[in-house]
Structures are given as structure tokens and as C-alpha cells.
Chain A
């Protein structure tokens, strides 16, 4: 495991590249999913309100 993590003298650049990539992609996916779920809840609530008014 230590050998795998080592990556030679440029390890800091390699792991930083993978770290930035993973973090950015996970945050983008999580935010997109959360906002989409929240918007769905809002649409359902808005439709229910409209039904009540009718």
C-alpha cells in the first residue's frame, strides 16, 4: 500500500491532480442531484397548493 501511494518524487502533483478531480466531480454530482430533488419537492408542493385553491 505504501509503495502504491508513494508514486515517486512527483507524488504530490499526481495525488493533487486525482484529489482535485475526484472532489470536483463528486461535489458537482452531489449538488446537481440535491438541487434536482429539491426542485421536484417544490413542484409537488406548488401543484398541491394550486389544487387547494381550485
Chain B
């Protein structure tokens, strides 16, 4: 665990240095391109964590592994935060570049849907007293919502949109210069390790809450 915390600090330090000072301004966007270094990793992580929640939900529903339900519950608030950050930083990038904070196009709307899926998943956990039932209902919602992931990814290809097309994850390689790609990957790595650290803390929290719940039930029976 300490290695992950040290790695998070180091990667954020290096990533922020290159994002804010060590990389050039864009020839068209100027300094505004620096929003990319916090926006894109947040958007990637929002989708990645959703897949973690969906995989945990699938494992919980099919194999009924007791920790799988808790893994989904622990990861969801982190994914919701990343998705909210992608939306907010995207709006702050959109205003100077597009002249508007928001448009109802495929990419922005599908990411907003992902945010609502996270909220729905977390709300279902809170909606029922029986944790097993709540977990199963939330898991079904998470699995249904997986259909939104390819929609987010390909929305910029399928529909006309203000949002730029994919420029990093392309079959013919990234179209971004290395001077911008390196800080982007450093920040993406920092977000990834940050997720690992916070996920472990939240997983321990959920396991402890489950232990307390079992001890309370045992005391009530006695």
C-alpha cells in the first residue's frame, strides 16, 4: 500500500509539472489545451471504473462471490467522481473552444448517462434494507449500463458532434505529439494508481462494515 501512495504522489508531481510547465501550448488552442491533461484521464477512468463495477457485478451475480458485490460498491463512488470531473472539466474546456459549456451531442450525453448510471447504482444500494437484494438490483443495473460504454467510445464516429474524434486510442496510432502525449500518459497513470489506493481503502471500509453488520446480527440473535 505505501508503494502505491508514493507512486501516486510521484506520478501526480511529474504529470502536473509536464502538464502545466513542461509541455508547449497548442498551435490552435493555446494554453487551453492544458485542460486536456485532467479531462481525458478523468474520462478514461470513468469508463474503466464502470467496467470494474460491471465485472464485479457479473462475478457477484454468476458466481455469488461475497467480495464481488463489495468491490462494485467500493469502486462506484470513485468512478462517479471521475465521470463528474470529466463532465465539469469538459465544460470548462468547451466554453473557450466551442463558445458553449454544453451541447446535447452523442459524446457529452452518453457520458452524462454514465454519470446517472453510477448515481442509480449507488442509490439502489441505499434503497433496500436487505444488502443482498440491494446488491443484486444494483448489479443488474450496472450490467445493463455496459451497453453505454461502446456508445461513449464510438459516439464521435457515429454522430456529428462538436467533440473532437479519438486522437490517442486509434488503430493507426496517436495523432498527438509526444510533447503532449507524455504528460497525458503520466497523468493517466497517476489517476490509475490513485484509483488503486482509494479503492483499497474503500474495499477495507466495506469489509469492515460487513463485519460490523454480522456482529450486530449475532448480538441481536443472542
Contacts and interface: CB of A to CB of B under 8 A. Distances in A.
Interface of A: 4, 7-11, 13-14, 16-18, 20-21, 24-25, 28-29, 32-33, 35-36, 39-40, 42-43, 46-47, 50
Given A13-B93, A21-B38, A32 B31 contact: no
Contact of B32 (A14, A18, A21, A29): A14
Contacts of A16: 92
Contacts of A40: 204, 208
B205 A39 contact: yes
Contacts of A25: 81, 85, 194
Identify whether the interface residues of B are mostly helix, strand, loop, or mixed. Answer: helix
Contacts of B219: 50
Contacts of B78: 28
A25 B61 CA distance: 31
10 contacts: A4-B20, A4-B21, A18-B34, A18-B38, A25-B194, A32-B198, A32-B201, A36-B205, A42-B212, A46-B212
B205 A17 contact: no
Contacts of A18: 20, 34, 38
B175 interface: no
A32 B205 CA distance: 8
Contacts of A24: 81, 84-85
A13 B198 CA distance: 27
B77 A28 contact: yes
Nearest to A5: B20
A8 B31 contact: yes
Nearest to B77: A28
Given A36-B205, A39-B204, A47-B215, 7 more contacts: A8-B31, A14-B35, A14-B92, A20-B92, A24-B85, A36-B208, A50-B215
